[in-house]
Chain A
């Protein structure tokens, strides 16, 4: 079966750096997405990776290794507003999105 694994919850300190990992086992690969979801709100798009390597976008970066079935989202200079759930999703060979259950990130002052 197809599977996306992410840690359920992580805690980090304001101003620090945190890395949220995502491993996947899917039938084929056509890209990996990260979304941010604040409690009670809609998911919003953060990043897209289809080739190996690091994509940087301000304080957020996303890395992909297709051979390892692995991605991470790196958040730098953490702010309280970064407290949210982070959702990893992989597009499989049939162009269907498979979603992880999300990682709840708690930021402490």
Chain B
């Protein structure tokens, strides 16, 4: 299996509290992504990173921030969680950038977040 782990796998929190999800990879891949998956929607990109300290916004970045201080770790932070952020969050990694053709993503097992 690809070395990508997410933590925590499950979290229940209250509205207004900060939450940080962690993605850790042992593949030394340059590219890392955070997606959310909700029923009836396709995967939606929140933020991505193309190197240490190099990050950019995806299509649903409002309310989220990220940090990548090491190649292996990509953190997703919800500064003040809202009920609309209840979702399953997937981290993904890829060796190649999107413009390199078959940019195959390897996903982590997901983090299920419930905001009450």
> Residues of A at under 8 Å CB distance from B?
4, 30-31, 33, 35, 40-45, 48, 50, 87, 89, 91, 95-102
Contact = CB atoms under 8 A, between A and B. Distances in A.
Interface string B17-54: 00000000000000000000000111111000000000
B40 A101 contact: yes
Contacts of B104: 33, 45, 48
B84 interface: no
Give the most central of B44, B45, B90, B98: most A CB within 10 Å. B98
A30 B101 CA distance: 7
A31 B102 contact: yes
User: Which applies to chain B's interface (DSSP): helix, strand, loop or mixed?
Assistant: loop
Contact of A43 (B90, B102, B103): B90
Given A97-B45, A98-B42, A31 B90 contact: no
B101 A42 contact: no
Contacts, number: 54
B107 A42 contact: yes
Nearest to B38: A101
A43 B44 CA distance: 13
A41 B109 contact: yes
Given A40-B110, A95-B98, 7 more contacts: A35-B105, A41-B109, A50-B101, A91-B98, A96-B59, A101-B42, A102-B42
Interface in B36-95: 40-45, 59, 90
Contact of A42 (B44, B98, B110): B110
A48 B97 CA distance: 15
